[in-house]
Amino acid sequence: MRFFFLVSIYLLLTPAVSAQGPLPPIPPGSDILLELGTIQYDAATGSGSVQMMMTSTVPIAGFQFDLTFDSPAVLLTSAYDGLAYTFGYTVGVGPTSGTVLGYTLTLVEIPPAILPEVLIIVGFQCNACPAGAPQICIENPVFADIAANSIPSDVGPCSNGVTDNEFLRGDCNTDGNANVADAVFLLASLFSGGPDSGCIDGCDSNDDDSMNIADAIHFLSFLFNGGTAPAPPGVDFCGTDPTDDTLGCLVPGPCP
């Protein structure tokens, strides 16, 4: 069928597709805003991860921050991907302290991020959080420039990854439209190293509480083969997710 042909073509795409989300304002007096991005959590295994999203007006040469949780049973397990690894930074985590530290021995700066970008993804483990992802907060952010001077910074709100933001179902790239570009974005994110969406609920076209290739097939079938329309709130009007699931929409696109 036509949409299976399109899936095959999109799986071969390698260029990264940039998400177009609303630009969060950096608070007055700060040059950097550090926020929580997509939070993923598997209650069956207790493993999870959180994207640390950075918006900045200046380059940085080192960073440190603490993650605190509403459950004392959470341990940090890893730090990977994002701008820090793209630019060769060494990043470590304190399993019990919640501290994340990133630095460079080559004095390579991470350039300004005018739109929110993933600085680092932090993995965690919580075997005592069966009901869902724990509440996460960012505390004590420290950013430094190449001369080891402190850079004024601020942090975003706490979150457990589940929000009631209004969104368009299918708008995976958060540009305010649900169209074939969203399927391209989703497939690139899943299979060719593209960026993660800021609105996982928007990517979950079939509303099965998971973001995977089935969503791309479902959405392409709707667009090109007369298939079932994406689940509410649908593709025409923004709304909240009527399904009680574990997904959220931290950075929704503009509503039409």
Q: Where in the chain is the domain with CATH 1.10.1330.10?
A: 162-256
pLDDT tens-place string over residues 81-132: 999 999 999 999 999 999 999 999 999 999 999 889 999 999 999 987 766 7
Say how many C-beta atoms besides its own lie within 10 A of residue 11's C-beta: 14
106: tokens are: 């080559």
| Furthest C-alpha separation in the chain | 59
For the ranges 140-144, 215-219, 244-248, the lowest mean pLDDT is seen at: 244-248
Question: Residue 150's beta-bridge partner residues?
Answer: 144
pLDDT tens-place string over residues 200-235: 889 999 999 888 999 999 999 999 999 999 999 999
CA distance 173 to 139: 29
Q: Which pLDDT score, from 0 to 100, does residue 66 have? A: 97
Does pTM top 0.85 for this prediction?
A: no
Architecture, CATH, for domain 32-155: Sandwich (2.60)
Q: Does the pLDDT of residue 166 top 60, yes or no?
A: yes
> Which parts of the chain fold into alpha helices (H)?
2-11, 82-86, 180-191, 200-203, 213-224
Q: Where in the chain is the domain with CATH 2.60.40.680?
A: 32-155
Q: Which is more confident, 24 or 135?
A: 135
CA distance 189 to 81: 13
Q: What is the CATH number of domain 162-256?
A: 1.10.1330.10
pLDDT tens-place string over residues 168-207: 999 999 999 999 999 999 999 999 988 888 788 899 999 9
